[in-house]
Amino acid sequence: MVIESATTLKEKLPNKDLKFGATFTDHMLEIDWDSKNGWHAPKISPYHNFEMNPACSALHYSLQCFEGLKAYYDPKLDKIRMFRPMENMKRMNVSCERLHFPSFDHEQVMQCIKQLIRMERDWVPKGSGYSLYIRPAVISTHPFIGVAPAESVKFFTILSPVGPYYPSGFSPITLYADDKYVRAWPGGVGFAKIGGNYAPTIRPALEAAELGFSQILWLFGPDHYVTEVGTMNQFFFWKRKDGRRELITAPLDGTILAGVTRKSILEMSREWGEFEVTERPFTIHEVIEAVDDGRLIEAFGAGTAAVVSPVNGFHYRGKDYKIPLNPEKPSEQAGPLTQRIWDTMEAIHYGATPHEWSELIE
């Protein structure tokens, strides 16, 4: 590993001025690969612009994939923690495989990322809801405008200190259930964290925003199966017709991103054993029926950026449907299950609750 330290350091913003994804730290990690020599030596150097040939296929054919995870400051131990980072590394290899990018050794690359975080440990903001967002990515650096496998790629990682997604506590979102745009489909690439899945979502999100909705609830197929919300996985918590309470989310059928937060919520809920936890295809009509019957208890999106994002309603085909947050405490901005998941996850993230999901960076 080649390490070149920055000679002048950037000024760190106070926590209150942190904006998601707009501030970057002093250093970055780069690991180049080419088809002749394989992976080159990893390099950590001052944050700098890339020199990119305008013909690079990352810029024409979207030969690019990325990951998103976070590092947290543990105030008890005065150490930095990461949350299930190998899950992200594994998923990145799935994305790389789909793009015919070279695979990489999870462990070795994670060691490089940890080294970068060690160098930037003063950049990890302190306090509940604050973290250092870690953005690994792989892009083609092959200057060739034929649609062809990349003969050279760059793995890189940049870091961005971030504040809570909702600075003033939870802020419930209202969804626009869309049957005009389709995010992913069977035989497509919805399961992979590749660039091409994201650009097409920006315009639909703006159109929903113009109608007054925070996010798109992505539907699929003529029966309008519920798939994801914005760039998050979507969960509903309802009482089934047989009276059993159930937490439900769409299954990993190839159209759904295998969220690490999604997986963690499913695992912890199953361990609690207090209600059914189900991954199966379900339609917006089932959700509407549950709303109409008064069986829908809570709804939330789940992802690395927001952890959980309470949903207070959705719009579908001209009609608004309300979802309870906390009927017993109307002033609360999240239902009891959403809040409990948040609290449990946060306690693990920052080390308040020891858990194997949280790894110390020694």
Please give the residue ranges that form the binding site for its own copies (CB under 8 A). 20-22, 24, 28, 47, 49-55, 58-64, 66, 97-100, 133, 135, 137, 139, 143-149, 156, 158, 160, 179-182, 185-189, 194-203, 205-206, 231
Choose between 65 and 325: whose C-beta lies nearer to its own copies.
65
Min dist CB 56 to its own copies, Å, is: 9
Min dist CB 187 to its own copies, Å, is: 3
* CA distances to 130, 194, 201, 231, 277 from 66, in Å: 21, 6, 16, 13, 29
The residues that bridge with 360 in the sheet, in sequence order, are 81
Choose between 2 and 360: whose C-beta lies nearer to its own copies.
2
Choose between 2 and 145: whose C-beta lies nearer to its own copies.
145
Distance CA 147, CA 150 (A): 9
* CA distances to 268, 278, 346, 353 from 131, in Å: 22, 30, 11, 17
Min dist CB 69 to its own copies, Å, is: 13
Dig out the tokens for 96 from the structure: 């790389």
CB-side neighbour CA atoms (13 Å) of 162: 24
Min dist CB 42 to its own copies, Å, is: 15
Min dist CB 349 to its own copies, Å, is: 20
Three-class HEC string of 185-245: CCCCCCCCCEHHHCHHHHHHHHHHHHCCCCEEEEEECCCCEEEEECCEEEEEEEECCCCCE
Min dist CB 294 to its own copies, Å, is: 32
Choose between 6 and 268: whose C-beta lies nearer to its own copies.
6
Choose between 143 and 313: whose C-beta lies nearer to its own copies.
143
Min dist CB 230 to its own copies, Å, is: 8
At 48, the amino acid letter reads H
**Most distant CA pair in the chain: distance in Å?**
65
The residues that bridge with 278 in the sheet, in sequence order, are 248
Q: What does the buried/exposed string (b/e) look like for 130-145 if buried means 16 or more CB atoms within 10 Å of the residue's CB?
A: bbbbbbbbbbbbbebe
Min dist CB 296 to its own copies, Å, is: 26
Q: Are 321 and 285 in contact (CB under 8 A)?
A: no
**DSSP readout, 131-180?**
EEEEEEEEEE--B--SS---SEEEEEEEEEEE--SSTTS---EEEEEESS
Choose between 63 and 119: whose C-beta lies nearer to its own copies.
63
Contacts of 74 (CB under 8 A, 6+ apart): 80, 81, 350, 351, 360
Choose between 20 and 166: whose C-beta lies nearer to its own copies.
20
Min dist CB 74 to its own copies, Å, is: 25
Query: For 103, which DSSP code?
Result: P
**Of 140, 203, 152, 165, whose CA–CA distance to 70 is shortest?**
165
